[in-house]
Amino acid sequence: MSGSRKYMKYTADNGTVYAVNIDESNGEEAGFGFSDYAFGESAPQLPQGMVMRHVRLQSAYGPSEKTSRKLWIGTNGAVAAILQLASILLPWYMFSGGFVPFVPVSYKAEQSRVAKSEDTGLLDGDDT
């Protein structure tokens, strides 16, 4: 869903609200769990290494279409509602600017990646 981007509120699993810069059409869809900022409101950026929860969608026209999308989900509450849908209509500009039905096929939970630490061998007093 390429297009203009916008900062939206993303609610992490622990309840912390972060500012995320996502495609406007994804963020403004009511059922996806994102919300706008009020004038003057702010939130911290999504920490480096944190990956938002998302649903993978496949074109309802079948696997021969080879068309899939990753759809970011703003809250945990929105996940169950989206997974229960038979299909979701999304804009697809390859088809004359119309909408194409997509079916939810998988869900990936929020992840936090932490860099592996290694001993550098320097004399820094850590005995390893």
DSSP 116: P
Q: Is the pTM above the cut of 0.85? A: no
pLDDT tens digit string along 92-120?
655 556 777 888 888 888 888 776 667 66
The amino acid that residue 66 corresponds to is K
Query: How far is residue 18's CA from residue 115's CA, in Å, rounded to a whole number?
Result: 21
C-alpha 87: how far from chain center: 18
pLDDT digits (tens, 9 = 90+) for 34-89: 988 887 888 888 888 899 999 888 887 765 556 778 888 999 888 888 888 877 87
Rounded Cα gap, residues 104 and 73, in angstroms:
12
| Domain ranges for the chain | 5-109
